Amino acid sequence: MTALADGTPRQAGTPDDTRAKLVVVGNGMSGARALEEILARGGGETFAITVFGDEPYGNYNRILLSEVLADAAAGNGASNETTPDEAASEALAESGDAPDGDGFDDEDEIFLNPRSWYSENDITLHVGVRIVRIDRHSKVVYGDDGSVTPYDTLILATGSRSFFPPMDGMWASNTELTPGVFGFRSLEDATSMLRHVKGRKTAVVIGGGLLGLEAAAGLQTHGLAVHVVHPTEVLMNQQLEAEASKVLRSKLEDMGMHMHLGVKTNEILTEDGAVSGVRFTDGSTLECDTVVVTAGIRPNIGLAMLSGLETQRAIVVDDTMRSVDDDDIFVVGECAQHRGEVYGVVGPLWEQAGVLADVVTGANPDAEYHGSRLATKLKVAGVDVAQMGVKIPERDSDEFVQFSETGRGVYQTVVIRDGTLIGATLVGDISKAASLTQAFDSRSALPEERVKLLFDLGSGDDASSAADLPDDTQVCNCNGVSKGDLVGCVHDGAESVSACMAATRAGKGCGSCKGLVKEIVEAALGGVGGEDPADSYYVPGIPMDKPALMAAIREQELTSVSAVFAALAPEGREHVGSKMGLTALLRMMWPDGWVDERDGRYINDRVHGNIQRDGTFSVVPRMSGGVTDAAQLRRIADVAEKHDIPLIKLTGGQRIDLLGVPKEKLQEVWADLDMPSGWAYGKSFRTVKTCVGTDFCRFGLGDSTKLGVDIEERFKGIEGPAKMKLAVSGCPRNCAESMVKDVGLVAVEGDQWQIYVGGAAGATIRKGDVLATVDSHDEAMTITGRFLQYYRENANWLERTYDFVPRMGLDYLIGVIVDDTEGIAADLDRRMQESVDRYSDPWSTDQQEKTPGQFHDALPLIPLPQVPIRAESLDREESLR
């Protein structure tokens, strides 16, 4: 707030305010960025600033709209038992700051500048007001609320809108879309979809660009079967070439999306005034109850056209970002056309805002914008993508390096011309994006072995680090943050990664740069940065580490998730992403007395089955130690035939998986099986894999089968912070892969068992550490249970043992669990026994619905592939009989 000579505050627009009048039309990302740049150059002293935005919020990050759509279904909490309004309130807490109870909290991460920011910076903000006319002669703007506001300098940042192609059935009237049809460009679009998705089954997304794929991913989290329809064979064809698109398509199809490429939609079908399907140009149809149109965007140029400014595709500007028709009108963002180009990604818009601010404030009157070299880093439906420059070689002399690993979903290319990087595409693995962007922007010299642009080939000299990057390297494309900005933040006193992210907004967009942000900040801090308190929180919604949280829960006798939030969360605010972790913690702490609030469980945990890509579930009965008998196998076969189970598969944990069971059939399948749950779906004790041990193996040193069966029977279904997989091997040949399990036991000479902890053989590969060598079956059972209980009580939510063991330190764990250096071994054993004693099988105890819809309203099914039966295999089997 500026002040008069006597120190009293000066109100913008009052007679004593002699500052020039700056009016900004548009409160989107570009307009707000221009404001920030102007304020950074002292513009608050020069101008009385007024901002008009036709949405009823502060400035927000459109890049996060997909997270708004997805977060309301976090943990599948909105699947069938949660209302859309409840889901929306879980994703974005209610706030009185926005009008009409819109359900958004201006402090949420989606908001870049809450309303308080405007008042703190002496900016007059008019929300929900659309400017309908500019009188350039009188230099005033007219609002649709009847307001008339004078200006000396005017900035147009009107952005763009969703493009709705001409199509029968799209519109219910001249101004309203058919019920069930949505754009995806604003918070209102996202919240309208949230209100609509309850009970819906199938969505069609028209347009396979970035926005379309993000919308598709968000809708998937609500349990809808999602079909993406795109007119070309190349997804994200603005950013990717054909081969990169194929890899992305494969990744997305693996996630359950259905792709219809090279297909055009020409009609939206309706029934009783609402969407019922779509028709394609070839005459075929697809039934659906939701249509999202992401067929591109169009700059909002209507106001400029009405005001006599030159427009082509957008509002034409010169190199100072001025309108070519009026020296007092500047334009920034997606509504600006510069040298024939209209930019729709963040980087160029930020550069435009900087030049505009230099010129408007006089900080650098000669500043000019000469266009941008596009380098984009995105996260598309969870898949990392980076692209810069050209996508494919354009001349015979261009060098082209290509790497494809489709099984891992990785595709990488670079295009080089005359020794200079002119293009790169990265899908799935973008670890080299920063160094490639630097080479692309600076046109720097490249290694003679071009493959080094994509891979470190073993020499220590080959590996690049964050510390080596120049300060002008763009790190966060979403918010225009450079390495120098982050380093400067550290020099200004920031002591943690989160502090730098909060100050600069780096990592607050798509999130793909968070790893590099962390590297840069830690390097700037000398590798010994101050500890970020949030890193130790058990769940993000409660600012406590796990020991403090457990102590508070015990002291206040909090037995429900809602009670924990009310007592311990800031302002008592619930956080949807924390509910599942708190549920697991309360079940562990209060085996008898915890209050079961169903929205605090994952969908898997609510129905005791693992949800599949088509909305069906898998049923895995327990076979302790991987041991079964003829009666069980016969029963499984009978159930599979009776219920037409489409796929029967052996699992890596030595179990039989019945896949494709509709939710409404789960209870019937459990009853017919008459076998206990195998817990193949929960954050819990899963299985114990065994080898045949001494009974049949010539090399067996210990009875691994019996020990494995006994461990599984004792600890079955025990709740944990993450899943726990175990194995027992009868000798060091390790046939049960015990050395790469959360807990693995291996028989060794002398009738002893070695107990390994912290192993992994999935996305992370780690050989376990030897916790102890014990002399008996009973001692192996005790140490195993004690380690599991200590892990349950001290690991963070979703922290697997392969992270927990290194974090705690092997020597420390040996001291606590084996040597009892802290005197808590007996207590750990007792608390584990309490959990064991209170075990009940969910398949037998949940034969009645706990809540309406628990075992009903399953999602629509899509045909699953049947296991192929090869004729030659049958012939071979017949010949062996």
Average pLDDT over residues 820-825: 96
**Of the ranges 153-167, 186-200, 857-871, which one carries the lowest mean pLDDT score?**
857-871
Average pLDDT over residues 82-110: 39
Question: Which tokens go with 308?
Answer: 């006599």
DSSP-derived 3-state class of residue 421: strand
Reply yes or no on whether the pLDDT at 548 is more than 50.
yes
DSSP-derived 3-state class of residue 789: helix
* Residue 570 DSSP one-character state: G
Predicted local confidence at residue 868, as pLDDT: 47
Mean pLDDT of the chain: 85
Predicted local confidence at residue 846, as pLDDT: 65
Q: Across 151-310, where does the E strand assignment appear? A: 153-156, 160-162, 181-182, 202-206, 225-230, 258-261, 265-271, 274-280, 285-287, 290-293, 297-299
Question: Which tokens go with 531?
Answer: 């500890």
Reply yes or no on whether the pLDDT at 459 is more than 50.
no
> Positive or negative, the Cα torsion across 632, 636, 637, 639?
positive
**192, containing H or E segment:** helix 187-196
Reply yes or no on whether the pLDDT at 85 is more than 70.
no
Helix axes 630-642, 666-673, angle to 10 degrees: 150
**Of the ranges 137-141, 187-191, 466-470, 779-783, which one carries the lowest mean pLDDT score?**
466-470
Per-residue pLDDT tens over the stretch 394-404: 999 999 999 98
pTM: 0.62
Rounded Cα gap, residues 537 and 826, in angstroms: 27
* Residue 681 DSSP one-character state: S
Average pLDDT over residues 357-376: 92
Burial (Cβ within 10 Å: 0-12, 13-18, ≥19) of residue 149? buried
Rounded Cα gap, residues 440 and 340, in angstroms: 22
Rounded Cα gap, residues 728 and 726, in angstroms: 7
Predicted local confidence at residue 451, as pLDDT: 87
The DSSP line for 352-408 is: HHHHHHHHHHTSSTT--------EEEEEETTEEEEEEE-SS--STT-EEEEEEEGGG
**Of the ranges 122-131, 156-165, 537-546, 596-605, which one carries the lowest mean pLDDT score?**
596-605
Give how far the C-alpha of residue 125 lies from the chain's centroid of Cα atoms, to the nearest Å. 32
> Positive or negative, the Cα torsion across 252, 255, 261, 267?
negative
**Of the ranges 218-232, 505-519, 781-795, which one carries the lowest mean pLDDT score?**
505-519
Reply yes or no on whether the pLDDT at 11 is more than 60.
no
Would you say how long the chain is, in residues? 881
Residue whose C-alpha is closest to residue 647's, from 870, 869, 866: 866
The DSSP line for 710-754 is: HHHHHHTT-B-SS-EEEEEESSTT-TT-GGGSSEEEEEETTTEEE
Q: How confident is the model at residue 565 (pLDDT cuts 50, 70, 90)?
A: very high
> Positive or negative, the Cα torsion across 335, 339, 344, 348?
negative
Reply yes or no on whether the pLDDT at 529 is more than 60.
no
Per the listing, tokens 């403090």 go with 548
Average pLDDT over residues 391-416: 91
Predicted local confidence at residue 623, as pLDDT: 94
Average pLDDT over residues 303-310: 95
DSSP-derived 3-state class of residue 860: coil
DSSP-derived 3-state class of residue 500: helix
Query: To the nearest whole percent, how much of the chain has pLDDT over 70?
Result: 87
What are residue 175's DSSP bridge partners? Answer: none
Which strand ranges, in their side-by-side order, compose the sheet holding 20-25?
123-127, 47-53, 20-25, 153-156, 326-331, 322-323, 315-317, 336-338
Pair 272, 440: CB distance under 8 Å: no
Per-residue pLDDT tens over the stretch 676-685: 998 888 889 9
Q: How confident is the model at residue 72 (pLDDT cuts 50, 70, 90)?
A: low
Top-confidence residue, 87 or 629: 629
Top-confidence residue, 187 or 38: 38
Pair 802, 756: CB distance under 8 Å: no
Question: Which tokens go with 409?
Answer: 């979903």
Q: How confident is the model at residue 850 (pLDDT cuts 50, 70, 90)?
A: low
Whole-angstrom CA distances from 388 to 160, 340, 373, 422, 438 are 23, 19, 8, 8, 11
Q: Helices (DSSP H) in 590-693: which residue ranges?
A: 603-607, 630-642, 666-673
Rounded Cα gap, residues 462 and 460, in angstroms: 5
Per the listing, tokens 């199809």 go with 253
Dihedral-angle region of residue 242 (phi above 0 means left; psi in -120 to 50 means alpha; beta otherwise): alpha
Per-residue pLDDT tens over the stretch 313-333: 999 999 999 999 999 999 999
β-pairing verdict for 410-417 and 399-405? antiparallel
Predicted local confidence at residue 786, as pLDDT: 97
Question: Which tokens go with 312?
Answer: 């082509």
Reply yes or no on whether the pLDDT at 610 is more than 90.
no
Reply yes or no on whether the pLDDT at 368 is more than 60.
yes
Reply yes or no on whether the pLDDT at 583 is more than 60.
yes
Pair 333, 349: CB distance under 8 Å: yes
Rounded Cα gap, residues 140 and 21, in angstroms: 10
Pair 513, 507: CB distance under 8 Å: yes
Predicted local confidence at residue 843, as pLDDT: 85
Average pLDDT over residues 163-190: 93
Question: Which tokens go with 517?
Answer: 């942000």
Whole-angstrom CA distances from 522 to 505, 506, 527, 530, 618 are 17, 14, 5, 9, 43
